[in-house]
Amino acid sequence: MKYLCFILFWASLFACASKQSALDTTKSNNHTFDCPEDGNCTFKILKNKNLNIRKDDIGLAYPDIIDGENIVLIFEYKRNELSDTEDSSYSELIYLEIKPNELDVDYTDSNMQKAKLTFGRLCFCRGQTGYYKVHSGQLQIKKGGKDNYHLKLQFQIDEVPQVITSIDEDFTL
């Protein structure tokens, strides 16, 4: 039964991935965060989108990005795969949603859920993979210029180990 649940979980993740590839995205090239040397990091800005956290048939959460009026920010850390090692893929994703008329925010701890802050850990890590709401840390977004913003996030997840604990990113809308 555990294997069936595991297979269904991964199948639902791959089924959702095709939707995200078709989205109109803007990537930030002004990375000011420290990406671990053993991988690559990306930052995506999805305009006119909403972030919904849904649950599949077995109760596991997953992000669903749909057309809407908000802005969804996605940070992804993808560790380099180990050669000659199967199932060595590992990635962490941080999702958050901001309203276009509320771009200056300062949330701490459980208030970060106003931005639907969600952490995802995807790997072949039995019992330690999935998506989790973030309830501990601080999220700040400050306007820096005409369309320039600065995102600063520090957070901690209790449910699973994590590599990324902070993001410091400049972006343009």
Q: Which pTM value belongs to this model?
A: 0.79
Among 125, 118, 108, smallest CA distance to 160 is for: 125
Q: Please, which residues have CB within 8 angstroms of residue 146's CB and are 6 or more apart in sequence? A: none
In tens, the pLDDT along 109-125 reads 989 999 999 999 999 98
Q: Distance between CA 67 and CA 63 in Å, rounded? A: 13
Q: What is the pLDDT along the chain (173 residues), one digit of tens a residue?
A: 444 444 444 445 444 443 443 344 454 445 455 799 999 999 999 999 999 999 999 888 999 999 999 999 999 999 998 887 777 899 999 999 999 988 899 999 989 999 999 999 999 988 899 999 999 999 999 998 888 999 999 999 999 999 999 999 999 98
Q: What's the full length of the chain, in residues?
A: 173
Instruction: List the Cα angle 56/57/60 in 5-degree steps.
Output: 45
Q: Distance between CA 77 and CA 140 in Å, rounded? A: 20
